[in-house]
Amino acid sequence: MTATATLSSPTKLVDEFMSDLRKKDPHELEFHQAVHEVIESLAPYLMAHPQYMKAKILERMTEPERVIQFRVPWADDRGNIHVNRGFRVEMNSAIGPYKGGLRFHPSVNLSILKFLAFEQTFKNSLTNLPMGAGKGGSDFDPKGKSDAEVMRFCQSFMTELSHHIGPYTDVPAGDIGVGGREIGFLFGQYKRLRNEFTGTLTGKGTDWGGSLIRPEATGYGAVYFVQHMLTEMGKEIKGLTFAVSGFGNVAWGVISKINELGGKVVTISGPDGYIYDPDGIKGEKVDYLLELRGTNNDIVEPYAEEFDTQFFARRKPWEQNVNIAMPCATENELNDDDAKTLIKNGCFLVAEVSNMGCTADAAELLTKEITYAPGKAVNAGGVAVSGLEMSQNSMRYNWTREEVNQRLHIIMREIHETCKIHGRNGSKINYVKGANIGGFLKVANSMMAQGLV
Ligand code: 2IT
């Protein structure tokens, strides 16, 4: 920013900051979107607390401490050679080692990973655990690949990444396209290269250092967060109808917990379209989700054949009448029109579980008209239990399911409390503002305390 001292309004601060950021990396639209949302919430606070502007905290927070990009060559089962691009964005280490997932998906590029790593800074801070922020991945597409191909890819990827990570440096985990199988292959190769058994990756199998509840944590945590949002409104989950998107690990955790608490989930979706199941996705149908994911095909349509329900090709679940919507798939999956349709049909709460699942317009409209909470607060249970996995690895000890679940409960309650403290707006809570200011303060104050680094 050029003229911090003369900035006269929050709007001007936002405009000047964003103009400088866009000039630096004009193609990184997702990164701009994530930063814009944060700066908009922070601007009035920053004007009132000029010490952060003087120390150029925002400029420093939006510049990764380090970006690593590397070649990932691998051979498929027929012996054909492929070359993918690997990345690790080490965003911020003010409050702990870099921490965040790895995403394997054809859409992965630097803009996507910078947006995710930036969001991770605030999310990890909100958990109150000592975790800095990072994100990485590759444009590798796991769809249709054999186990052997995925293993060779993971080994090649880790051969380079191993130079940059470690239990005190950077602790990756999973994200889209990286689940238990991939973490296993990545961990095996890391251990072999380093000849060390450490907790350098989280999301490990429970037989070899993983935490109980980690697979369920993002979904369970999101539903605990929704419980707190509902309590504020004098409501409860029992009897409510939910639209969920996606059908992966996160959607599965969300659906299981909603069922347990007496709610009903009527939709799931994939890149091919969505399922509408008015009886609710419960019992054996939830187990079937795991089977569907195991096929490596990334389509949801077989559910309709299996359980004789409706499938809407190339459409999104947000057109159904529900009380609550929980996007659980990927960024920008719920847009302005979807938000209008949801509101028109009586939806009163949108809890974003995917990272930046709503477009900027949608998030603004939902905040104004109904109640909306952003992914960085709602989905923080995933990385929180990764943090608990790190604690258990350091202690060389494993907590029980109940112990981990109880800690997850407490963390989600405290994140909700933080949102309330910083986002109170009359009788409502602005969760975007609450999460952004709440997440910012701890990191910003730590950066100030550690000098100009
Ligand atoms: O977006 C996320 O918070 C994750 N993909 C999980 C990160 C982690 O380190 O567990």
- What confidence tier does 59 reach under pLDDT thresholds 50, 70, 90? very high
Segment 310-321, tens digit of pLDDT: 999 999 999 999
Q: Residue 78 and residue 76: Cα distance in Å, rounded?
A: 5
Mean pLDDT of 386-410: 98
- What confidence tier does 187 reach under pLDDT thresholds 50, 70, 90? very high
Q: Which two tokens stand for residue 351?
A: 């809890």
Q: Is residue 344 part of a domain?
A: yes
Q: Is residue 389 part of a domain?
A: no
Residue 252 has pLDDT above 90, yes or no: yes
8 Å CB contact between 346 and 323: yes
Q: Does ligand 1 lie within 6 Å of residue 173's CB atom?
A: yes
Q: Is residue 34 part of a domain?
A: yes
Residue 273 has pLDDT above 70, yes or no: yes
Are residue 220 and residue 81 in the same domain, yes or no?
A: no
> DSSP state, 211?
P
Are residue 323 and residue 251 in the same domain, yes or no?
A: yes
Closest by CA to 190, choosing from 167, 215, 214, 212, is 167
Are residue 366 and residue 229 in the same domain, yes or no?
A: yes
Are residue 223 and residue 272 in the same domain, yes or no?
A: yes
Q: Residue 91 and residue 141: Cα distance in Å, rounded?
A: 24
The whole-number pLDDT of residue 7 equals 67
Q: Is residue 363 part of a domain?
A: yes
Which positions are annotated as active-site residues? Answer: 135
Mean pLDDT of 275-300: 92
Q: Which residues are paired to 371 by β-bridges?
A: 349
Q: Which two tokens stand for residue 184?
A: 């296993």
Percentage helix, strand, coil, to 5, in the chain? Answer: 50, 15, 30
What's the N-to-C CA distance of the chain in angstroms? 18
Q: Is residue 182 part of a domain?
A: yes
Kind and range of the H or E run holding 11: helix 10-24
Ligand 1 centroid, distance to 418 Cα (angstroms):
20
Kind and range of the H or E run holding 170: strand 170-173
Ligand 1 site-directed mutation target among 88, 112, 119, 120, most atoms within 8 Å of CB? 120
The whole-number pLDDT of residue 3 equals 45
- What confidence tier does 181 reach under pLDDT thresholds 50, 70, 90? very high
Q: How many CB atoms lie under 10 A from the CB of residue 403?
A: 15
Residue 173 has pLDDT above 50, yes or no: yes
Q: Is residue 165 part of a domain?
A: yes
Segment 311-352, tens digit of pLDDT: 999 999 999 999 999 999 999 999 999 999 999 999 999 999
Q: Does ligand 1 lie within 6 Å of residue 377's CB atom?
A: no
Annotate 37-80 with DSSP letters as a single string: HHHHHHHHHHHH-HHHHHTTHHHHHTS-SEEEEEEEEEE-TTS-
Mean pLDDT of 237-264: 97
Mean pLDDT of 102-113: 98
The whole-number pLDDT of residue 100 equals 98
Are residue 103 and residue 250 in the same domain, yes or no?
A: no
Ligand 1 centroid, distance to 173 Cα (angstroms):
6
Give me the number of domains the chain comprises. Answer: 3
Residue 41 has pLDDT above 50, yes or no: yes
Q: Does ligand 1 lie within 6 Å of residue 355's CB atom?
A: yes
Closest by CA to 117, choosing from 134, 97, 102, is 134
Q: Tell me how far the alpha carbon of residue 430 is from its chain's centroid.
A: 19
State which of 155, 170, 198 marks the end of a domain. Answer: 198
The whole-number pLDDT of residue 298 equals 85
Domain that holds residue 327: 215-373
Q: How many residues does the chain have?
A: 453
Are residue 194 and residue 274 in the same domain, yes or no?
A: no
- From the CA of 175, give the closest atom in ligand 1: 5
- What confidence tier does 6 reach under pLDDT thresholds 50, 70, 90? low
Q: How many CB atoms lie under 10 A from the CB of residue 352?
A: 29
The sign one gets for the Cα dihedral 411, 393, 405, 326 is positive
Rounded to the nearest integer, the mean pLDDT of the chain is: 96
Segment 224-247, tens digit of pLDDT: 999 999 999 999 999 999 999 999
Segment 421-436, tens digit of pLDDT: 999 999 999 999 999 9
Are residue 193 and residue 116 in the same domain, yes or no?
A: yes
Ligand 1 site-directed mutation target among 125, 218, 411, most atoms within 8 Å of CB? 218
Are residue 237 and residue 343 in the same domain, yes or no?
A: yes
Ligand 1 centroid, distance to 7 Cα (angstroms):
36
Ligand 1 site-directed mutation target among 98, 113, 386, most atoms within 8 Å of CB? 386
Looking at residue 240, which CATH number applies to its domain? 3.40.50.720
Spatial neighbors of 195 by CB under 8 A, at least 6 apart, are none
Q: Which two tokens stand for residue 111?
A: 């803009």
Residues 112, 216, 303, CA angle at the centre, nearest 5°?
Answer: 85
Q: Does ligand 1 lie within 6 Å of residue 204's CB atom?
A: no
Give SS3 for 232: helix
Q: Residue 364 and residue 366: Cα distance in Å, rounded?
A: 6
User: Over pLDDT 70: what percentage of the chain?
Assistant: 98
Q: Does ligand 1 lie within 6 Å of residue 352's CB atom?
A: no
Are residue 240 and residue 293 in the same domain, yes or no?
A: yes
Q: Residue 406 and residue 360: Cα distance in Å, rounded?
A: 34
8 Å CB contact between 374 and 435: yes
Q: Does ligand 1 lie within 6 Å of residue 99's CB atom?
A: yes
Are residue 270 and residue 326 in the same domain, yes or no?
A: yes
Are residue 128 and residue 181 in the same domain, yes or no?
A: yes
pTM: 0.97
Are residue 167 and residue 246 in the same domain, yes or no?
A: no
Residue 4 has pLDDT above 60, yes or no: no
